[in-house]
Amino acid sequence: MTGLKARVVDVVHETAEAHSLVLEPAEGDRDRFSYRPGQFLTVRVPAEDGWAARCYSLCSSPLTDDRLKVTVKRVEGGLGSNWICDNVTAGDVLEVLRPAGTFTPSSLDDDLLLVAGGSGITPVMSILKSCLAGGRGKVALLYANRDERSVIFADELRALTEEHPDRLTVVHLLESVQGLPTPATVRSLARPYTRRQAFVCGPEVFMDLVTDTFTGLGMRVHVERFFSLENDPFEDPEAPGEPAPGGEIGEIEVEMDGETRTVPWPKSERLLDALLRAGVDAPFSCREGNCSACACVALEGEVTLDANAVLDAQDLADGLILACQARPVTDRLKITYDG
């Protein structure tokens, strides 16, 4: 097992369909729960034929909240969301993977445009609270929902707007009042903010509409997409100490949690496999190039990616790579997970 243990200390009923779990890391695992605003947790959930894993964004801020909090909204027929909303209570212990993901601003001082649809507010809330608490920039939030009763964090947003009237603007879009968002609505709401980077999370159709509109306005857009994991990342993949495959061996210098170490990289292996084999506590979730949980920054050296459904051209230009898909081009690679 590669999972960490987190105790549920509270369950908050945010709306009729959304529950938040407040989590306390098990003693001894605390350091491995450090996270950046906008990242997610992978949670192990029971399935008919064993176990499955689902990703849920953290809505808490590492700057303002002592405990971690994920918000889970029921999805019709959804395995993980219904199990959590129906069964998880205070005192339960969940098995999770360390926080991961690249949906996080590079600077909390930048002015940002945040866009959320429904439960897509979860990682957006983490970014919003972190920017207000730890940065100097202005934040505008466009928040789309079906109706007033489905607005998650309504009271918290109201309080934050009162606390930061010069830095936070919240615009609600309610389907029950304004109808479904259209490109024209989104374009006109975004007009004052086109010089800002945008962070967008919500239902697929909504995100596509917003992303296409913003890209048309020349904006840099970061999106967070979730999907069901095909495999079970909690099963030990490459156990530390297992003999490496033969053939040519390169090396990886890896920075993580403030420490640097050098480990071998059999050239027939992907980067994540080599790191795990060497006992490095590298984060991952899908292992299919879809989620960005394994993303790190290549500081020196070069790799190719077998698959990549999540990093855009700018991410790649910034040096981000997916460890689960990276194969060596150069003999030596220097990477960092601290960024």
Q: Which residues bind ligand FES (CB under 6 A)?
A: 284-287, 289-294, 310, 322, 324
CA distances from 292 to 42, 117, 152 (A): 12, 21, 26
Rounded Cα distance, 37 and 59, in Å? 8
Which is nearer to ligand FES, 40 or 143 (by Cβ)? 40
Which is nearer to ligand FES, 214 or 226 (by Cβ)? 226
Report the nearest approach of ligand FES to the CB of residue 292 (Å): 5
Tell which residue, 201, 208, 193, has the closest CA to residue 223. 201
Report the nearest approach of ligand FES to the CB of residue 100 (Å): 8
Q: Taking phi first (over 0 means left), then psi (-120 to 50 degrees means alpha), and beta for anything else, what does residue 312 get?
A: beta
Report the nearest approach of ligand FES to the CB of residue 284 (Å): 4
- Which tokens go with 291? 């989620």
Q: For 240, which DSSP code? A: T
Rounded Cα distance, 114 and 197, in Å? 8
Report the nearest approach of ligand FES to the CB of residue 55 (Å): 9
Handedness of CA 163, 168, 169, 173 (dihedral sign): negative
Which is nearer to ligand FES, 150 or 292 (by Cβ)? 292
Which is nearer to ligand FES, 233 or 266 (by Cβ)? 233
Answer whether 59's CB lies under 8 Å from 126's CB: yes
Ordered DSSP codes for 125-174: HHHHHHHHHH----EEEEEEESSGGG-TTHHHHHHHHHH-TTTEEEEEEE
Report the nearest approach of ligand FES to the CB of residue 308 (Å): 8
Report the nearest approach of ligand FES to the CB of residue 309 (Å): 8
Ordered DSSP codes for 22-75: EEEEPTTTGGGG---TT-EEEEEEEETTEEEEEEEEB-S-TTT-SSEEEEEE--
Report the nearest approach of ligand FES to the CB of residue 158 (Å): 36
Would you tell me how many other CB atoms lie within 10 Å of the CB of residue 32? Answer: 17
Which is nearer to ligand FES, 202 or 283 (by Cβ)? 283
Which is nearer to ligand FES, 139 or 295 (by Cβ)? 295
Which is nearer to ligand FES, 142 or 324 (by Cβ)? 324
